[in-house]
């Protein structure tokens, strides 16, 4: 009987840990919340620049997407998808900014090779910005979370999934809905 009780306690603990991990895997800032301001080093086409959210929003909405690690399979697929649709984002007046915890030298290479020099890829050492956006997955890794930030600085849309397949379609749809409200 004691063994059964210990097994049930162990299963309850494991289930709780799994639930907490699953809950965190799908966490993100909610729609309508003010987006945390940030300034980061970013690369585009191998050139390094400073990206500032306020300055970017002065030009239009921002699609801010966090990804776990440059040059991994899912992140490369996602970068290709975003780069293929940069023209669609521009038609909607939006700028795309990718963010991971990789250093700026890695982002310079990733920007050129995988993002096809189409958009900024920012370096977030220590994932300070990712944590502000509730997009930190594990030590050293951002979660795969995409945001559409309206020009007024509020979160218009948020989506978290480790599967890169829907991030582009979902953010484009959110931008179209945002444009329709104007």
Task: Please identify every residue annotated as catalytic.
Answer: 75
Please calculate the CA angle 27-31-33 and round it to the nearest 5 degrees: 95
In angstroms, what CA-CA distances link 23 with 6, 34, 84, 132?
Answer: 26, 22, 31, 17
Q: How far apart are CA 176 and CA 21, in angstroms?
A: 32
Rounded to 10 deg, the angle between the 73-84 and 167-181 helix axes is 40
3-state secondary structure of 90: helix
Query: Within 13 Å of residue 31, how many CA atoms lie on the same side as its CB?
Result: 6
């Amino acid at each position: 009987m004691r063994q059964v009780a210990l097994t049930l306690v162990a299963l309850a603990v494991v289930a709780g840990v799994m639930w907490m991990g699953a809950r965190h895997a799908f966490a993100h800032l909610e729609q309508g919340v003010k987006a945390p301001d940030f300034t980061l080093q970013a690369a585009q086409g191998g050139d390094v620049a400073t990206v500032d959210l306020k300055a970017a929003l002065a030009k239009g909405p921002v699609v801010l997407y966090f990804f776990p690690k440059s040059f991994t399979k899912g992140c490369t697929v996602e970068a290709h998808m975003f780069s293929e649709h940069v023209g669609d984002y521009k038609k909607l007046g939006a700028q795309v900014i990718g963010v991971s915890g990789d250093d700026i030298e890695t982002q310079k290479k990733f920007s050129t090779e995988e993002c096809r020099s189409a958009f900024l890829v920012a370096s977030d050492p220590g994932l300070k910005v990712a944590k502000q956006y509730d997009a930190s997955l594990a030590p050293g890794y951002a979660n795969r979370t995409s945001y559409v930030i309206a020009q007024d600085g509020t979160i218009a849309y948020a989506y978290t999934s480790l599967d890169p397949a829907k991030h582009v379609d979902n953010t484009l749809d959110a931008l179209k809905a945002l444009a329709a409200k104007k």
